[in-house]
């Protein structure tokens, strides 16, 4: 196994752990009625939490550390798998089961009346599609790394 493939697998696993911890924070933020979240955070949660902290921040860190197309492919592959793990863990922590209605407002921008609703019966298909995309991206990365490994005369 090439050094870069080992590094890619390690980064992939670390990103999955990063997003799993996000589910724990997410459930803590939304799961307790005694805690009052400030209004300005609630109004901009999709920007602060999801866009900046859970997507752009780790992407920026990775691209700064390794500014390559392979890094972007790896990040996107991990993001698709990580989002599935996030949803499963969040559902388990807040509803007591892996597949639930916790995604009924999966993507919502209420200020422009954009809400994508995914009911419990559609959740499993949504997870499967994201896992397949993740596997496809990781396989594409594997092929790129393998081609680079062979072209450098290491086999």
Please state, as a whole number, how many other Cβ atoms lie within 10 Å of the Cβ of residue 26: 19
The predicted model gives 81-94 an average pLDDT of 87
Q: Is the pLDDT of residue 149 over 90?
A: no
Percent of the chain residues topping a pLDDT of 70: 75
Domain boundaries, the chain: 3-151
Q: Cα separations (Å) of 127 from 42, 80, 82, 94, 134? A: 26, 9, 11, 18, 11
For 9-28, the pLDDT digits (tens) are 888 887 888 787 777 667 65
- E strand intervals along 25-103: none
Categorise residue 99: left if φ over 0, alpha if ψ from -120 to 50, beta otherwise: beta
pTM recorded for the entire structure: 0.70
For 41-71, the pLDDT digits (tens) are 667 766 777 777 778 878 877 887 888 899 9
25: helix, coil or strand? helix
Token pair listed for 70: 């392979």
pLDDT band at 33 (very low <50, low <70, confident <90, very high): low
113: helix, coil or strand? coil
Q: Cα separations (Å) of 48 from 3, 5, 52, 94? A: 35, 32, 5, 22
Burial 115-143 (b: 16+ CB within 10 A, else e): eeebeeeebeeebeebeeebeebbeebbe
């Amino acid at each position: 196994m090439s050094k870069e493939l080992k590094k890619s697998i390690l980064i992939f696993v670390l990103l999955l752990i990063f997003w799993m911890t996000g589910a724990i924070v997410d459930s803590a933020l939304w799961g307790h009625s005694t805690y009052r979240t400030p209004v300005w955070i609630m109004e901009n949660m999709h920007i602060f939490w999801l866009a900046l902290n859970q997507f752009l921040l780790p992407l920026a860190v990775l691209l700064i550390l390794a500014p390559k197309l392979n890094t972007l492919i790896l990040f996107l592959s991990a993001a698709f798998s990580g989002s599935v793990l996030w949803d499963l863990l969040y559902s388990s922590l807040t509803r007591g089961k892996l597949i639930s209605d916790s995604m009924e407002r999966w993507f919502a921008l209420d200020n422009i009346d954009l809400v994508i609703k995914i009911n419990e019966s559609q959740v499993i298909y949504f997870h499967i599609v994201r896992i397949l995309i993740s596997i496809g991206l990781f396989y594409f990365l594997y092929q790129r790394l393998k081609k680079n490994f062979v072209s450098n005369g290491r086999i």
